[in-house]
Chain A
Amino acid sequence: MALAKRETRVERRDASAKEGSQAKRLPVISMVLLALTFAGMMISIWMVFIYAPTDAIEGDAQRIFYFHLPSAIIGMLAFAIVAVGGVVYLWKKDERWDWAARAAAEVGAVFLTFALITGSIWGRTTWGTWWTWDARLTTTLILWFIYIGYLMLRSYMGRSEAGARAGAVLAIIGLIDVPIIYESVNWWRTLHPQAVLPIGSSPQLPPEMLLTLLVAFVTFTLLFSLLLMQLYQLEKMQTLAQRLRASVEV
């Protein structure tokens, strides 16, 4: 004898019809961002590989630069977002700022990792070395470690107020420290003049290259915003889920 289903199809339909009045709203902003990012990325790829002229000195390898520079700058600015989110969280005790900070840290860390890897590859092809201890690279590497430390701390302390506060303090200290690190490495470098590499020397870029760089910049910013938004929502839902679970498991 077949066992009757606990919930018949009719009941299920009625239940969803009731919910339907508060129909799930489409995430319009995310969808728009996704569409813009996709379009931007497609345009960027075309511009980087086809539109932009080949660099006279470095050749085709120079094209890494269009991906490398935006992600490096955004990776660094994301840390400012983490720190600012932390400060406002400590001040206002509104956990949404902490969600934003944590999301920014995750996305920023990914962007910075990408920047370090692409920078290293670019360095290898252009200067013949995978790494050099100049101020910019060293500071970027240290910032990467601070990011990872932040993520580890947040992960180890769990989704709690203590974890949020600890993360905020780490981000504040990190933000204040980064300029000091940069300057101290600069001073240290003046004593050990290692291979003088043309890092950051920006010769006049022809307008096509400048335009490509600008478009790549806008695309990466859109990508960052898109990912930030998704991770923010994820943080929000994870926090709410944790609370629900806690209220149920009594």
Chain B
Amino acid sequence: MMFLEQVMAILWKDVRSEWRSKQMWTGMGLFAILVLVIFNFAFDLRVDNKAAVAPGALWVAFVFASMLGLGRTIAVEREKGTMDRLLLCPVDRKAVYLAKLLGNMLFIGVVEIVALPIFAVLFDVPLFFGPLLPIVLLGTLGIAAVGTLFAAMAAATRARELLLPILVFPLIVPVVIAAVRATGTLLVPAANEPPWLGLMAAFDVIFLSVSMLTFEYIVDE
């Protein structure tokens, strides 16, 4: 099978199995919305500081929901034992990684699409869906690229839900900074902003490649 066909096959399997249960989507979605609600109580949102706090709240909700999702996709594979069977097939490990990555991005993407309008309503900020799209896309790709790799690593331990955020949070700091600042610039346009999208794109390219290359070392026994 060609590389792309392998990726699509694994991805379609994951999407279909999640579509049947819909457990993760609902769980992640509700979690993201709840985080936004908690932020309302954490920060006293008045008109003047809303623009300062809103992007941060949004991205914290996305990052936390991503952690849940990333951990679960690989954990489910381990529980059902399908990971070993997948590895027995002569499939390129890079294809496995890419499929997992795309699956994770899809799951997190759905959560984000649901959470964004609710975010706009709760925080009373205008929703610039068009310009927001590249930011959300690049940011999610960055978080998922690193997160998919480390989810596979942490899945081998018992404390996998604990270990994944500990490993991933320090590494995605550039993405979080860039995403929050880029979103903030949308709400409050500022001059002389550093090229946040460029930084995110560079981060994504670098860590996508490195993760693809090193995934086989993690997953093969």
Give the shortest distance, in Å, between A118 (CB) and chain B (any CB).
22
B157 touches A156 (CB 8 A): yes
Contact (A153, B157) CB under 8 Å given A165-B217, A165-B218: yes
Q: Could you say which of A180, A183, A185 has the most chain B C-beta atoms within 10 Å of its C-beta?
A: A180
Report chain B residues within 8 Å CB of A148. 166
- B:204-221 near A, CB below 8 Å: 206-207, 210-211, 214, 217-218, 221
Is A172 in the interface zone, CB < 8 Å from B? yes
Contact (A90, B163) CB under 8 Å given A146-B170, A187-B199: no
B199 touches A184 (CB 8 A): yes
Main secondary structure of the interface of B (DSSP, over half): helix
Complex CA distance for A172 and B217, rounded to whole angstroms: 12
- B:143-158 near A, CB below 8 Å: 146, 149-150, 153-154, 156-158
Contact (A153, B153) CB under 8 Å given A169-B218, A172-B210, A187-B199: yes
Report chain B residues within 8 Å CB of A153. 153-154, 157, 163, 167
Complex CA distance for A145 and B170, rounded to whole angstroms: 6
Is A38 in the interface zone, CB < 8 Å from B? no
Contact (A166, B153) CB under 8 Å given A152-B166, A153-B163, A187-B199: yes
A157 touches B156 (CB 8 A): yes
Contact (A173, B173) CB under 8 Å given A162-B221, A166-B156, A187-B194: no
Complex CA distance for A178 and B150, rounded to whole angstroms: 17
- B:120-143 near A, CB below 8 Å: none
Report chain A residues within 8 Å CB of B173. 142, 181, 184-185
Contact (A145, B169) CB under 8 Å given A169-B149, A180-B203, A185-B177: yes
Work out how many contacts link A and B, with CB atoms closer than 8 A.
90
- A:85-100 near B, CB below 8 Å: 90
Is B178 in the interface zone, CB < 8 Å from A? yes
Complex CA distance for A187 and B217, rounded to whole angstroms: 34
Minimum CB distance partner of A182 in chain B = B174
Query: Which of A90, A157, A165, A168 contacts B157 (CB under 8 A)?
Result: A157
B217 touches A90 (CB 8 A): yes
Complex CA distance for A87 and B157, rounded to whole angstroms: 22
Is A247 in the interface zone, CB < 8 Å from B? no
- A:153-190 near B, CB below 8 Å: 153, 156-157, 162, 165-166, 168-170, 172-174, 176-177, 180-181, 183-185, 187-188, 190
| Interface size bracket, B side | 35 or more
Contact (A162, B167) CB under 8 Å given A169-B214, A184-B173: no
A177 touches B171 (CB 8 A): yes
A152 touches B210 (CB 8 A): no
| Interface size bracket, A side | 20 to 34
A184 touches B174 (CB 8 A): yes
Give the shortest distance, in Å, between A226 (CB) and chain B (any CB).
29
Contact (A170, B153) CB under 8 Å given A177-B171, A181-B174: yes
> Which residue numbers of A lie inside 8 Å of B, CB to CB?
90, 142-143, 145-146, 148-149, 152-153, 156-157, 162, 165-166, 168-170, 172-174, 176-177, 180-181, 183-185, 187-188, 190-191
27 contacting pairs across A/B (C-beta < 8 A): A145-B170, A146-B170, A146-B171, A149-B163, A153-B154, A153-B167, A156-B159, A156-B163, A166-B156, A168-B217, A169-B149, A169-B217, A170-B153, A173-B210, A173-B214, A174-B171, A176-B210, A177-B171, A180-B174, A180-B199, A180-B203, A184-B174, A184-B177, A184-B199, A187-B194, A187-B196, A190-B194
> Which residue numbers of B lie inside 8 Å of A, CB to CB?
146, 149-150, 153-154, 156-159, 163, 166-167, 169-171, 173-174, 177-178, 181, 190, 193-194, 196, 199, 202-203, 206-207, 210-211, 214, 217-218, 221
